[in-house]
A and B are shown apart, each in its own frame.
Chain A
Amino acid sequence: MILTVHHVTTYEYDMPMRGAVQSLRLFPSRFDGQRTIRWDVAVEGGLRGGNFRDGAGDKVEGWSLRGPVTEVTISAVGQVETTDTAGVLRGHREIVSPFAYLRETSATWIDHALRDLAETAGLGTKDPLDRAHRLCGAVSEAIAYRPGTTHAHTTAAEALAQGEGVCQDHAQALLACARAVGMPARYVSGYLFAREDGAPHEAAHAWAEIWVETIGWIGFDPANACCPDARYIRIGSGLDAHEAAPIKGIAQGDGSERLDVTVALEAVQQ
């Protein structure tokens, strides 16, 4: 599948800021399921800083803007060819040990309910791959997709208690469950191409990856109860949503910001 991405993020400030710095983890991953045809990232009026590929294989690029700044517009535009690898992250170069992904964060804190959910779901199987699938299914059932019920800082435990949330909540709950049963897991941010049946969802998407000793990292999307396929574009990963965020930035000044994001994905006719 060839997917065209047009992703524009705009921060508007109600008073001029002295300057801004951005750290962008906004580049398609390199692995067997993805090939980047072209990809351009730009910050309007910004100065490009250094870039590097981190230990988890994500490309990161720094940007800065000189003040006064009233608006920051970040665009990522490009084309990616994808193939279905049944969720397996094959051919991805990274150096960080999977054990580094057992650590809890405040957003993925494991409370009793998450632990119960994980342990119950894992019962009756010794096969780690099977267990990972069951965890994904359990989270998918326990949290209904309902936009607007949670916010950026909702924790996995809160989302489970509430029983509803969006893809971020699903993914973080799955991370917590996997780690609760000793399986390394990480948060993945990326894009998802709209299904032809027109079911509602956001093109910017997030899911989880679980480490299965015999295979490696495998993607699980509890929001859609499936593994990522050719409709998914993988961008970057982290211990939780905050760490894996494609865009991190700070503007210096007293203004308050307003965020606007548009993401459009199209399949190129072949």
Chain B
Amino acid sequence: MTTYFNEMYEGGTVREPYARLEDWTKAMPAALRAMKQAEAEALFRRIGITFAVYGEGGDPDRLIPFDMFPRVFTQAEWRKLERGIKQRARALNAFLLDVYGRAEIVRAGKIPARLVFQNEAFERAVAGFTPPRGIYSHIVGIDIVRTGADEFFVLEDNCRTPSGVSYMLENREIMMRMFPQLFRENRIEPVDGYSDALRRTLASVAPAKCEREPTIAILTPGHYNSAYYEHSFLADLMGVELVEGADLFVEGGFVWMRTTEGPKKLDVIYRRIDDAFLDPLCFRPDSMLGIPGLMDVYRSGGVSICSAPGAGVADDKAVYTFVPEMIRFYLGEEPLLNNVPTWQCAKPDDCKYVLEHLGELVVKEVHGSGGYGMLVGPRSTADQIETFRAKIAAHPENYIAQPTLALSATPTFVEEGIAPRHVDLRPYCLVGEKIELVPGGLTRVALKEGSLVVNSSQGGGVKDTWVLAE
């Protein structure tokens, strides 16, 4: 990777959003910086924030490295992103409503039937059911990379249960505590409205049978889960119960929580467990995490589940290729945010090209979400490439490939001082009665020099993400 977009310096000059940060760093000697860094770490440890990006696993007590150098967007940049993200979230939900209904997009020949209906994430059990407001994915995490001043690409969509939002909130909290001056000098859009917005979103999709203020709970796989901190953090911020499967039971067409005062009816479940574990009567019979009978209650309108079971079919990596088509088909608009150009190995021509250019491409498995089964061509050994070549040849339909993008870089505190490191962005779009997006998101940074892998399990860290007010 020789050239990439530097978000702070363009040529020799500082780009506008970062203008005030240059003085800030100059006024911070190494000793002070080390002290602040230690303080930040102590704060994270104290609040007990431990975190693993969805699907990465790892030590649940691990701290993800926090870089104090913020990542900054101007209001204008953000507005553009925001429109694109909201557009995408609307299209993804329209797609889900459609494929679990008459599947017009398939009938119209815009997406192959096989890709939708034979997809492992397509849940036949929810077909023909329209959830409240027709919304399936209530929290859409859209991973975005930047390659130029005006060039943004969507890397992938997360329609199930995107994680990491607790980091977005805590990073800001800690920055404000450590550098109040910065927040006086720069006018930064707040992010702390997220929990209220999430609560509003969840309440707005309560089932029709719910005639009072809906009772909401977050369903967690339990305290051994790597994202447990986030689950309990969000439950606390929203003032709702954090429940496990065993805390709930089904009776008389409703879901009830086991409380010290007897059963309490539950209306909306923000679940942080996979479809397969929701209900042993409907999905995996060996699931110990689920609630037997939950799906019958859901389908008969007794409870809402967010995101809806089956929402995953929209964020499959093979379906991803068709999102621009969805935007045109459902919204009649042109996509505001582009996809990364993608070769589908299922197509013989694409597959041939991919196999010939493995050394320069990023290859991803289509099922599953995140990190796994990935080949970053330019950073792989000949052996790794050959292993992947065999895998792709055996099951081409399981793979897609994309060019290795020149991810933008932002200044980051490193051992030697300040140096550019590559970043991505995950904003969290809420879809309920309204579509809401807090300004910012989670910026992940590849802390190793030259690395493009921002995953926390492979040397990635996080940054506070600023959107400047006008």
B355 within 8 A of A: no
Q: Which residue of A lies closest to B253 (CB)?
A: A50
B319 within 8 A of A: no
Task: Give the Cβ gap from B383 to chain A, nearest Cβ, in Å.
Answer: 32
Tell me if B300 and A64 are in contact (CB < 8 A): no
Q: Taking A54-B127, A96-B128, A248-B281 as contacts, is the C-beta distance between A49 and B102 under 8 angstroms? A: no
Residue from B129, B252, B297, B300 within 8 A of A47 (CB atoms): B252
Tell me if A49 and B128 are in contact (CB < 8 A): no
- Give how many A-B residue pairs fall within 8 Å (CB-CB): 104
B238 within 8 A of A: no
Tell me if A62 and B296 are in contact (CB < 8 A): yes
Q: Taking A21-B281, A64-B251, A103-B118 as contacts, is the C-beta distance between A50 and B299 under 8 angstroms? A: yes
The interface residues of chain B lying within 8 Å CB-to-CB of A97 are 103, 106, 113, 116-117
Q: Which residue of A lies closest to B127 (CB)?
A: A55
Tell me if B129 and A64 are in contact (CB < 8 A): no
A54 to B252 alpha-carbon distance, docked (Å)? 19
A50-75 vs B: 1/0 string, CB under 8 Å? 11111110001110101000000000
Tell me if B296 and A23 are in contact (CB < 8 A): yes
Tell me if B249 and A19 are in contact (CB < 8 A): yes
A139 to B120 alpha-carbon distance, docked (Å)? 28
The interface residues of chain A lying within 8 Å CB-to-CB of B251 are 47, 49, 64, 66
A95 within 8 A of B: yes
A52 to B302 alpha-carbon distance, docked (Å)? 11
Query: Could you say which interface size class chain B belongs to?
Result: 35 or more
A249 within 8 A of B: yes
A103 to B367 alpha-carbon distance, docked (Å)? 15
The interface residues of chain B lying within 8 Å CB-to-CB of A54 are 125, 127-129, 299
Residue from B101, B117, B125, B302 within 8 A of A99 (CB atoms): B117
Task: Give the Cβ gap from A237 to chain B, nearest Cβ, in Å.
Answer: 10
The interface residues of chain B lying within 8 Å CB-to-CB of A49 are 250-254, 293, 296-297, 300, 302
The interface residues of chain A lying within 8 Å CB-to-CB of B116 are 97, 99
Q: Taking A50-B299, A64-B252, A248-B281 as contacts, is the C-beta distance between A95 and B127 under 8 angstroms? A: yes
Tell me if B297 and A62 are in contact (CB < 8 A): yes
The interface residues of chain B lying within 8 Å CB-to-CB of A23 are 281-282, 293, 295-296
B301 within 8 A of A: yes
| Residue from A23, A50, A52 with most neighbouring chain B CB atoms (10 Å) | A50
Q: Which residue of A lies closest to B128 (CB)?
A: A55
B100 within 8 A of A: yes
Tell me if A56 and B114 are in contact (CB < 8 A): no
User: By DSSP majority rule, is chain A's interface helix, strand, loop, or mixed?
Assistant: strand
Interface size on A, residues (CB 8 A): 32
Task: Give the Cβ gap from A64 to chain B, nearest Cβ, in Å.
Answer: 5
A48 within 8 A of B: yes
A102 within 8 A of B: yes
B292-312 vs A: 1/0 string, CB under 8 Å? 110111011110000000000
Tell me if B100 and A55 are in contact (CB < 8 A): yes
A15 within 8 A of B: no
A47 to B113 alpha-carbon distance, docked (Å)? 40
A19 to B250 alpha-carbon distance, docked (Å)? 10
A250 to B299 alpha-carbon distance, docked (Å)? 19
Tell me if A56 and B124 are in contact (CB < 8 A): yes
The interface residues of chain B lying within 8 Å CB-to-CB of A95 are 101-102, 127-128
Tell me if A100 and B126 are in contact (CB < 8 A): no
Tell me if A99 and B299 are in contact (CB < 8 A): no
Tell me if B300 and A62 are in contact (CB < 8 A): yes
Q: Taking A47-B251, A249-B281, A250-B280 as contacts, is the C-beta distance between A100 and B299 under 8 angstroms? A: no
Q: Which residue of A lies closest to B303 (CB)?
A: A50
Interface residues of B in 241-275 (CB under 8 A from A): 249-254
The interface residues of chain B lying within 8 Å CB-to-CB of A19 are 249
The interface residues of chain B lying within 8 Å CB-to-CB of A249 are 281
| 22 examples of A-B residue contacts, CB within 8 angstroms | A23-B293, A23-B296, A47-B251, A49-B296, A49-B300, A49-B302, A50-B301, A52-B299, A54-B128, A55-B100, A55-B129, A62-B296, A64-B250, A64-B293, A95-B102, A95-B128, A96-B127, A97-B103, A100-B127, A102-B114, A103-B118, A239-B124
- Name B residues whose Cβ lies closer than 8 Å to a Cβ of A: 100-103, 106, 113-114, 116-118, 122, 124-129, 249-254, 280-282, 285, 292-293, 295-297, 299-302
The 10 lowest CB-CB distance pairs between A and B, nearest first, are A50-B300, A55-B127, A55-B128, A62-B296, A50-B253, A99-B117, A21-B293, A49-B253, A100-B117, A95-B128
Given contacts A21-B249, A23-B281, A62-B293, 13 further A-B contacts (CB under 8 A): A21-B293, A22-B293, A23-B293, A49-B254, A49-B302, A52-B296, A53-B128, A54-B125, A55-B124, A60-B296, A64-B249, A102-B118, A250-B292
- Name A residues whose Cβ lies closer than 8 Å to a Cβ of B: 19, 21-23, 47-56, 60-62, 64, 66, 94-97, 99-100, 102-103, 239, 242, 248-250
